[in-house]
Amino acid sequence: MSVFLLPSEPIESLDAYLATDVGGSGVRRAHELGPAETIDVVSRSGLRGRGGGGFPTGQKWAGVAAQSGARRYLVCNGAEGEPGTFKDRALLRANPYQLVEGMVIAAFAVGAAEAFICLKASFRREIDAVTRAVQEFQTAGICGDCKVTIVAGPDEYLFGEEKAMLEVIEGNEPLPRWLPPYLHGLFATAPQMGWQSHDVAAGSTNSGGGSNPTLVNNVETLSNIPHILVRGAEWFRSMGTADSPGTIVTTVVGDVVAPDVGEVEMGASLRAVIDAVGSGPVAGRSVKAVFSGVANAVVTARDLDVSVSYEGFEAIGSGMGSAGFIVYDDTTCMVDAAYRFSRFLSIESCGQCPPCKLGSSAITEHLERIETGVGNDGDLDAITGWLGHVTDGSRCFLAAEEQIVITSILRAFPEEFSEHIELGRCPRPRRLPIPKLIDLADGRAVYDDSIWRKQPDWTYAPIERADGDA
Ligand SMILES: Cc1cc2nc3c(=O)[nH]c(=O)nc-3n(C[C@H](O)[C@H](O)[C@H](O)COP(=O)(O)O)c2cc1C
Ligand code: SF4
């Protein structure tokens, strides 16, 4: 069996889930094994976090379990704000029960007494599905002592950043804090950032002192857990590659015939995934560039045979991210792509670290000048200068995303920048989408066009003043 996360028909009741080979058996198996052995199975499976970074899940769980602190929490990241990605919503629509069971197992393994599932408030359908699943689990007593709360968060891209997500759970804006969740968890009063000493293990309530180590995992990561507990680490390792075992739920959107979500074994070629999941480029067109979300270096036509795996993308100087592939065909202007990616990131930057907000905004302005035909070599120099500093003192990875994506486009397509400067216009004018997905079903993707009206302070311009509509 090489596809197990996305059932052919949605699972819509706890009874239907319990009737599957896995339903309910994962929690039972974890209780038979105990927390340490459960973590060991997850470690041996080689599962890596599907939220974008690919961090080994067992190692993360062991790290949280080993932290001192009386109170621990689990957070499931279902913000899914990465453009080009829809897989978490597809999973929640198809089977919210495997996620809830994965959360119950994770909470048991790391000793978390409370868990939170964070979704955007705009994900109504998925919130309804997961709310129903949690209620049915609670009524059936499968959650045990673990309290599970669903949090409806804002549409901001940063909501999905784990340190910002903890802020949202605590009722604040999605502004990333300094320390990672395993060091400074939910409702923590320590570690303090000042000079005062503190007792990290003192906390036993939400308001008391303590660092409250918190485990944050993506929807897809946790959805894998019951399957691994029931079928074993070796079964999981029998799929995919040695460094990237298992399957991956990919999204393929952009210039393809039928955008969609599909589960594939790790190690398939990107070209095959674009064909199998997105039905390939439209007739007469060829793939020019592929981006995995907005966080990784561009993949050019030359590298389309890269293996869809963490090590495969790393070997070509990119990253697999959350396997949300944005495909652009040969009608695409890469200067415009750079401008639109940079604009998205600069608008979503929160501004807590000035080089990130100022740098990404300046880069966006210079890219816009080149794209609209008024740019010169001075703009290119200014972009290069800012790219060297945009990450200075940054609290989160967004600034690095700007640096990585824009640098990669400049390196892969230098001739397009000089062409714009020489011609004084864009040779491939076309309204390029940044596919921030609202819906994806039946080969049809709905993009959130309001991003073009979003302003640097996160307010929205009235519709008639929308820029980016060129
Ligand atoms: C700007 C930004 C946005 C992110 N958005 C998401 C998101 O929408 N969903 C997600 O699971 N992880 C997102 N992440 C990654 C999370 O911070 C975190 O690494 C992830 O949830 C960990 O889960 P995993 O170990 O299961 O991959 C984002 C990171 C950054 C820097
Ligand atoms: S790096 Fe950018 S987005 Fe991240 S906290 Fe700093 S200013 Fe905000």
Of the listed ligands, the closest to the CA of 174 is 2
The pLDDT of residue 433: 87
Bond prior to 191 in cis (omega within 30° of 0): yes
Average pLDDT over residues 200-219: 69
pLDDT at 192 over 80: no
Say if residue 469's pLDDT is above 60: no
pLDDT at 191 over 90: no
* Pocket around ligand 1 at a 6 A CB cut-off: 49-53, 55, 60, 77, 79-82, 157-158, 160-162, 216-218, 221, 396-398
Query: 22 in helix, strand or coil?
Result: coil
Q: Which ligand is nearest to the CA of 348?
A: 2
Mean pLDDT, rounded, for 319-338: 98
* Number of the ligand closest to the Cα of 224: 1
Q: Is the CB of 398 under 6 A from ligand 2?
A: yes
Question: Residue 242: is its pLDDT beyond 60?
Answer: yes
Q: Point out the ligand nearest to the CA of residue 80.
A: 1
Tell me which residue has its CA closest to atom 12 in ligand 1.
51
Ligand 2 neighbourhood includes 351 CB (under 6 angstroms): yes
Measured by CA distance, the residue closest to atom 29 of ligand 1 is: 161
Whether pLDDT at 201 is above 50: no
Residue 170 alpha carbon to ligand 1 centre in Å: 18
Closest to 43 measured CA to CA, from 55, 53, 31? 55
Q: Which atom of ligand 1 is nearest to 82's Cα?
A: 8
**Residue 222 CA, closest ligand 1 atom number:** 26
Ligand 2 nearest-atom number relative to CA 161: 4
Q: Which pLDDT tens digit goes with each residue over 372-391?
A: 999 999 999 999 999 999 99
Name all contacts of 269-277 with Cβ < 8 Å and 24+ positions apart.
269/304, 269/305, 269/306, 269/307, 269/308, 270/299, 270/303, 270/304, 270/305, 270/306, 270/307, 270/308, 270/325, 271/304, 271/305, 273/308, 273/325, 274/304, 274/325, 274/327, 277/250, 277/251, 277/252
Asked if residues 32 and 109 have their Cβ atoms less than 8 Å apart, the reply is: no
Q: How many angstroms separate the CA atoms of 201 and 185, rounded?
A: 12
Give the closest ligand to the alpha carbon of residue 401. 1
Q: Which of 241, 270, 311, 225 is nearest to 25 (CA)?
A: 225
Tell me: the pLDDT tens digits for 361-370? 999 999 999 9
- Give the Å distance between the CA of 354 and the centre of ligand 2: 8
Tens digit of pLDDT for each residue in 126-138? 999 999 999 999 9
- The Å distance, Cα 164 to ligand 2 centre, comes to 10
C-alpha to C-alpha distance for 22 and 358, rounded to whole angstroms: 50
Are 347 and 339 contacting, i.e. CB atoms less than 8 angstroms apart? no
pLDDT greater at residue 82 or residue 146: 82
pTM exceeds cut of 0.85: yes
| SS3 of residue 249 by DSSP | strand
Whether residue 163 has its Cβ less than 6 Å from ligand 2: no
Closest ligand 2 atom to the C-alpha of 360?
A: 2
Q: Cα(first)–Cα(last) distance of the chain, in Å?
A: 47
Q: From ligand 2's centre to the CA of 347, what distance in Å?
A: 11
Q: Identify the residue whose C-alpha is closest to ligand 2 atom 8.
A: 350
Whole-number percent of the chain with pLDDT over 70? 94
What is the average pLDDT score of the chain? Answer: 94
Q: Is the pLDDT of residue 200 over 70?
A: no
Is any atom of ligand 2 closer than 6 Å to the C-beta of 360?
no
pLDDT band at 202 (very low <50, low <70, confident <90, very high): very low
User: What pLDDT shows up at residue 68?
Assistant: 80
Calculate the alpha carbon distances from 258 to 12, 277, 347 in Å: 26, 8, 29
Task: Read off the pLDDT of each residue in 304-323 and give the average, rounded to a whole number.
Answer: 98
Ligand 2 centroid to residue 36 C-alpha, Å: 36
| Residue 82 in this model has a pLDDT that exceeds 70 | yes
Considering Cα of 102, then 84, then 161, then 390, what sign does the dihedral take? positive
Please count the helices (runs of H) and the strands (runs of E) in the chain: 17, 11
Q: Which three-class secondary structure state does DSSP give residue 80?
A: coil
Ligand 1 center–CA 162 separation, angstroms: 6
For residue 179, report the distance from its CA to the centre of ligand 2, in Å.
13
Ligand 2 proximity of 349 Cβ (cutoff 6 Å): yes
Classified as helix, coil or strand, 157 is: helix
Nearest atom of ligand 1 to the alpha carbon of 80: 8
